[in-house]
Amino acid sequence: MQVQKMKTITPHWDFVNAPCEYASYCGGCKTQNLLYEAQVRAKEQQVSELITHVGKVLTIDKCLLQSEATNKVLVVIQDGWRDSELGLSPYDVHTHAGFLKHLMLRSGSDVKTGLTELMVSIVNNVNTSVGNTSLGEEEYILYGKRTITETLRGITFQISANSFFQTNTHQVNSSIDFLGDGSEIVLDLFCGTGTIGLTLARKVKHVYGYEVVPQAISDACRNAEQNGIHNATFVIGDLNKISDSFGTEFPKPDIVISDPNRPGMHMKLIQYLLKLRAKRIVYVSCNPATCARDLDYLCHGVAEKDIKGCYKLRSLQPVDMFPHTPHIECVALLELD
């Protein structure tokens, strides 16, 4: 549960019932900022019916992307924030007042028992940002376990609340494939808890992963150890702020995996990749707009900066990672031209 630091003013809220699709960006219901998304959708679509929902908190009876069990949790939480005695007022994106900002629901499976694991933990995630980012700077476990277990391609992942993990394990499972001779050095940019790198590690020589969230890096290191993987190195680093010496701490990669969040790659990183000239880049993106922009830079260069591109787009595969939403994941394979 994402909790905004308490502020003194509590706005008045109307609670209304509305079908899920009016409200949710959700991306697999990992995050829901109901009010904000209703506003965005209302603006985008200019639908008066939606505009009447602005300033209100929508009830979502059932999210089609969630399991029966997590939908029950959703109902309990929604009942809770209507209980004025609990003082859990919703966060207002305009006044920045309010307490509950995001609700993260995830169910995973346990590799040993094969059973679906439902972790009902209460995590106070303190988020001082006024933007729409779902994860804050600090997390405190108020109740329950610190991590949830998820299994992907025979690898068990422990994921803490602040770490990103792909929202649709089923689709990720069928999207990862690799053909190589085992000698490859892989650079896993935006590695999160090591999802992609660790599923490749047994087929390559070494994986080097970079990621900005410290909890995700400690999850990745623990996941490598618990799965007996010793050829993966994970490093905390902000890939928007790489220095000129970035890359000196690992051998030249044969393959770069880049899986940034929605804003895509920073120009510094693009420039680094164009200089690096790895044989292959696999670009994974949940935002087709920034994906197209970054692929264009890598293939055709950046004219205003007099930078030349050096890649050819070999394949582009959309994957329906976020069913029932307008969002789509894309996996692009680039090879040196």
Ligand X SMILES: C[S@@+](CC[C@H](N)C(=O)[O-])C[C@H]1O[C@@H](n2cnc3c(N)ncnc32)[C@H](O)[C@@H]1O
Residue positions annotated with a catalytic role = 286
Within 13 Å and on the Cβ side, how many CA atoms surround 184?
23
161 binds ligand X (CB under 6 A): no
196 binds ligand X (CB under 6 A): yes
Cβ 24 to ligand X shortest distance, Å: 18
- Size of interface with ligand X, in residues (CB under 6 A): 19
Task: Taking the CA atoms of 207, 212, 218 and 222 in sequence, report the sign of the dihedral they define.
Answer: negative
Encoded one letter per residue, x for contact with ligand X by CB under 6 A and - for no contact, window 270-289 reads ----------------x---
191 binds ligand X (CB under 6 A): yes
Q: What is the C-alpha to C-alpha distance for residues 254 and 277, in angstroms, rounded to an integer?
A: 9
239 binds ligand X (CB under 6 A): yes
240 binds ligand X (CB under 6 A): yes
190 labeled binding residue: yes
Question: 149-152: long-range contacts (C-beta < 8 A, 24 or more apart)?
Answer: 149/108, 149/109, 149/110, 149/111, 149/117, 150/108, 150/109, 151/108, 151/109, 151/110, 151/111, 152/195, 152/199
192 binds ligand X (CB under 6 A): yes
Q: What is the C-alpha to C-alpha distance for residues 223 and 102, in angstroms, rounded to an integer?
A: 26
330 binds ligand X (CB under 6 A): no
21 labeled binding residue: no
Cβ 316 to ligand X shortest distance, Å: 17
Q: Which helix (H) or strand (E) holds 208?
A: strand 206-211
Cβ 89 to ligand X shortest distance, Å: 28
| Token pair for 268 | 């510094």
* Residues linked to residue 140 through DSSP beta bridges, in sequence order: 124
Q: Give the binding site for ligand X (CB under 6 A).
A: 164-166, 190-192, 195-196, 211-213, 216, 238-240, 259-261, 286
Binding site listing for S-adenosyl-L-methionine: 166, 190, 211, 259
